[in-house]
Amino acid sequence: MPGVLYGREAPVAISVGERDLRAALTTSAGSHAVLDVEIDGGKQHSAILKEFQRDPVRGAITHVDLQEVRLDQPIHSAVAITLAGDAAGVKEGGVLSHVTTEVNVEGLPLEIPQHLELDVSGMHIGESIRLADLVVPDGITVLDDLDAVVATVTQPSREEAPEPAEGEAAAEAVAEGEAAATAVADAEIAESEAPEED
């Protein structure tokens, strides 16, 4: 498949075997794997996946953009946050919400993790976990606001009684009006039939 290698110099058009790329990206490092790209008859370039495009129908990757990196210089990358465990608050009837799904980090290319895991098993209703609670590997720095909420457990919202449909409401109003009119008529009849006083 065609691709472009972006680096310290001008971008270079490259061609990548889809099987080779898929094999490299299914290692433990996932999409953060450092790839060895060979250009100009054997010159090696370390690179990471920057972006890719897929065929909208078949889903196959049709183009890749790679970013050249130096293994001794830190890079910035977005890493997925996954939730582990069953929150105690869910067993209590609460609802677990995953608010922040990824975090921006800095680290050496070979040390960037595929994802960061957050244990939510100790969360009860009304509690939340923030980025500051993430356990990150040595050498990795979180760049985002550490006060940002990652997950919360809240009380489920109460269901309100449904309002009657427009037709039902109109029928109820008519029935109430008829009942009131009948009561007035009955009162008038009773008053006219009452014996007159001398």
Taking only Cα atoms into account, the Rg of the chain, rounded to an integer number of angstroms, comes to 33
Distance CA 113, CA 140 (A): 9
pLDDT value for 49: 87
Residues 175 and 146 in one domain: no
Structure tokens at 75: 């890079």
Residues 175 and 128 in one domain: no
Residues 148 and 127 in one domain: yes
Distance CA 128, CA 119 (A): 12
pLDDT values of the chain reduced to their tens digit, one per residue, 198 residues: 888 989 867 888 888 888 888 787 777 677 778 888 887 767 788 888 888 888 888 877 888 899 999 999 999 999 999 999 999 999 999 999 999 999 999 999 999 988 999 999 999 999 999 999 999 999 999 999 999 999 999 998 765 545 555 555 555 555 555 555 455 445 554 554 455 554
Residues 169 and 120 in one domain: no
Distance CA 128, CA 117 (A): 15
Read off the pTM: 0.66
Give 144's contacts (C-beta < 8 A, 6+ positions apart): 103, 104, 131
Neighbours of 39 (CB within 10 A): 14
| 92 located within any domain | yes
| 197 located within any domain | no
| 127 located within any domain | yes
pLDDT value for 28: 67
pLDDT value for 20: 81
| The total number of structural domains that make up the chain | 3
Give me the domain span that covers residue 93: 75-154
Q: What is the CATH number for 40?
A: 2.40.240.10
Residue type at 77 in one-letter notation:
S
Q: What is the CATH number for 123?
A: 2.170.120.20
Three-class DSSP labels, the chain: CEEEEECCCCCEEEECCHHHHHHHHCCCCHHHCCEEEEECCCEEEEEEEEEEEECCCCCCEEEEEEEECCCCCCEEEEEEEEEECCCHHHHCCCEEEECCCEEEEEECHHHCCCEEEEECCCCCCCCEEEHHHCCCCCCCEECCCCCCEEEEEECCCCCCCCCCCHHHHHHHHHHHHHHHHHHHHHHHHHHHHCCCCC
| 196 located within any domain | no
| 198 located within any domain | no
129 and 118 Cβ atoms separated by less than 8 Å: yes
Distance CA 149, CA 98 (A): 9
